[in-house]
Amino acid sequence: MTQRPDGVAIQVRGAVKQYGNLHALAGVDLEIRQGEFFGLLGPNGAGKTTLITALAGLTRLSAGHIAVMGHDVVADYRAARRALGVVPQELVFDPFFTVREVLRIQSGYFGIRNNDPWIDELLESLGLSDKASANMRTLSGGMKRRVLVAQALVHKPPVIVLDEPTAGVDVELRQTLWHFIRKLNADGHTVVLTTHYLEEAQELCTRIAMLKAGRVIALDSTQNILSRVSSKALHVRLSAAQVLPAALQARLVKQEGLAYAFSFDQADEVEPLLALLRGAGADVVELEISKPDLEQAFIDLVSEH
């Protein structure tokens, strides 16, 4: 795979996208290294999809620039687009062709002839071999999403962008997709992922950028972002509703019905918390200790901003 001397796969500088008075992007700066598995996270309306459409050349920035593998997405659009494979969030498909025909046509867009060996590998890797001759309109939603992934990869791009690729799909597809994408990443492909399944981002991504209101509010390694949530949590389920003493109220981070979560930093703090519960007359029927996770870090960071 082609390697750039500076090792940069995607460079975003001062990206601004304005719709009237709304700033979908308000000055985003990012640099994604070749071979990274990078997470782009944020609440709805944060600007993730706007950034991806600008990256793919589907929308023009109001200010700033974006380059893929050193190619400006506007001035050198052809080379930038060839270096990029995007799996969109929406299920967009042509109902008049079979799966194999769709992938051959997609190959033709990039001037690639006789691409069947790679198409066969994609079909096999994504569990589509038995659907190769099926018309696109007969496929389930999950199968259509697999075809979208194959379309994005048919020209073997060095940079792959996945916009909510597992939204609304079954566990089998999720596992199949991640197994294949991990293999591509291990082979040197740069992968950029947006997802609302934060456990996926925590498991897969080595570095993460969090967006809110068109701005980057956090950009760091996954481990460093997790370390910002310093406390662990003691989760308990009580047999009945309970009025908690002030010392427990101060540690309470979450309550859903009879389930409570209390924060702590050191293991020797667990027994005093349980003693406080016993002293308040609480009957604990379930108990679990959890480490900090990306969901809590995400909530904390978004709340701070």
CATH number assigned to the domain comprising residue 197: 3.40.50.300
pTM of the model: 0.77
- What are residue 13's DSSP bridge partners? 65
For the chain, where are the E strands, in sequence order? 8-19, 22-33, 37-41, 63-68, 71-72, 84-87, 159-163, 190-194, 207-212, 215-221, 232-238, 252-256, 259-264, 284-290
Closest CA to 150 of 202, 218, 101: 101
pLDDT at position 231: 64
Domain count, the chain: 2
Q: Which domain holds residue 158?
A: 8-227
Q: With cut-offs at 50, 70 and 90, classify the pLDDT of residue 241.
A: confident
Give the number of other Cβ atoms within 10 Å of residue 301's Cβ.
18
Task: Assess if residue 153 is contained within a domain.
Answer: yes
Average pLDDT over residues 234-255: 86
Task: Assess if residue 149 is contained within a domain.
Answer: yes
Q: With cut-offs at 50, 70 and 90, classify the pLDDT of residue 159.
A: very high
Residue pair 28/195 in contact by the 8 Å Cβ criterion: no
278 and 136 within one domain: no
Average pLDDT over residues 5-33: 91
Average pLDDT over residues 25-45: 92
Average pLDDT over residues 154-183: 86
Lowest-confidence segment of 64-73, 105-114, 174-183 by average pLDDT: 174-183
Average pLDDT over residues 229-237: 78
Give the three-class secondary structure for 240. coil
Closest CA to 120 of 153, 143, 85: 153
Task: Assess if residue 304 is contained within a domain.
Answer: no
pLDDT at position 254: 82
210 and 271 within one domain: no
107 and 44 within one domain: yes
pLDDT at position 203: 87
**pLDDT > 60? residue 305:** no
pLDDT at position 102: 95
143 and 251 within one domain: no
**pLDDT > 90? residue 268:** no
pLDDT at position 152: 94
Residue pair 292/232 in contact by the 8 Å Cβ criterion: yes
210 and 128 within one domain: yes
Give the three-class secondary structure for 270. helix
